[in-house]
Amino acid sequence: MGEIVGAGLVSHVPTIMTPDEDRLEIYDGKDTTLIKGLERIRKEVLDVLKPDAVIVFDTHWATLIEFIVTSHERRTGKFTSEELPRGMSQVPYDLKGDPELALLIEREVNGVGTRCTAIDDPYLPINYGTVNVAHHLKKDEAWLSVGVCMSADANDYLSVGEGIRCAIEKSDRRVVLLASGSMSHTFRPFRDISIGKYEAANPEFVFSAEAREADYERLAWFKEGNHAAVIDTMGDYYRHRPEGGFGHYLMMVGALGARNCRAKGRQFSEYENSVGTSQVHVWFDRPEDGWNGLDNNES
């Protein structure tokens, strides 16, 4: 039987792809902690867990009438961002896929009542929510991406996670889940950004004190393993516009048991700003008694 062996909320902020000299200028001489954080996740976590597959919940891939999971044998090419082509241009990527697992996900997510389709079209675009984190974390694992659906609500996302957990359990794969995106996600006005204001990592530059405090509250709940509190207060958190409707986190935690998940988070970076948006890496280790406090025989 397959299992989820680890999960993380990770930042894919474009500056993690920026040359050192340019990045230090953006950050006023004090570098981001996000790159070192990804390096630590690779060395201290992924190299230990040795997963067969990584599933990325990618907030930069917005679908409309269904959830989509990539089912390619391999995705390879060069990526240029339509959003930031000056900073992310012709980035090479080469990601092994897992069509069998993707088709299992399609079947099981549909089985819990949420529409999901596995797509292997060679012209399907890839997004930097996948490319950027894979650039720093990828080794020999299979990498699959799941998009966020613009018409979905929190319950839909949790349902997708439930279906993905069922699919993994029916496979023979050891899988890591990566919720790729930020927490509160409101950009500063164009005129401020264009003159370089609020680009440094200082969390005081996050869009508002209220958004920053809402993020801190949820980081504290992550540390406690209190995912029920995060889920139950989503209505309030939406005021701070979490990236992708926080769908990346909700799909991840849905796969880990939703409100029953007790996995405690540990930060692999500082909580940082990027032109008003929040950025952080938080890793959730599998508890000894299972993601929802049940041992393997009861889960």
pLDDT values of the chain reduced to their tens digit, one per residue, 299 residues: 999 999 999 999 999 999 998 899 888 888 999 999 999 999 999 999 999 999 999 999 999 999 999 999 999 999 999 999 988 999 999 999 999 999 999 999 999 999 999 999 999 999 999 999 999 999 999 999 999 999 999 999 999 999 999 999 999 999 999 999 999 999 999 999 988 889 999 999 999 999 999 999 999 999 999 999 999 999 999 999 999 999 999 999 999 999 999 999 999 999 999 999 999 999 999 999 999 875 543 43
**Axis crossing angle, helix 99-111 with helix 154-169, rounded to the nearest 10:** 130
Specify the CATH number for 3-285; select among 3.30.10.20, 3.40.50.300, 3.40.830.10, 3.10.20.30: 3.40.830.10
Pair 246, 237: CB distance under 8 Å? yes
In order of 127, 158, 261, 299, the CA distances from 227 in angstroms are 28, 12, 6, 18
251 near 164, Cβ under 8 Å? yes
Q: Cα 139 vs. chain centroid, distance in angstroms? A: 18
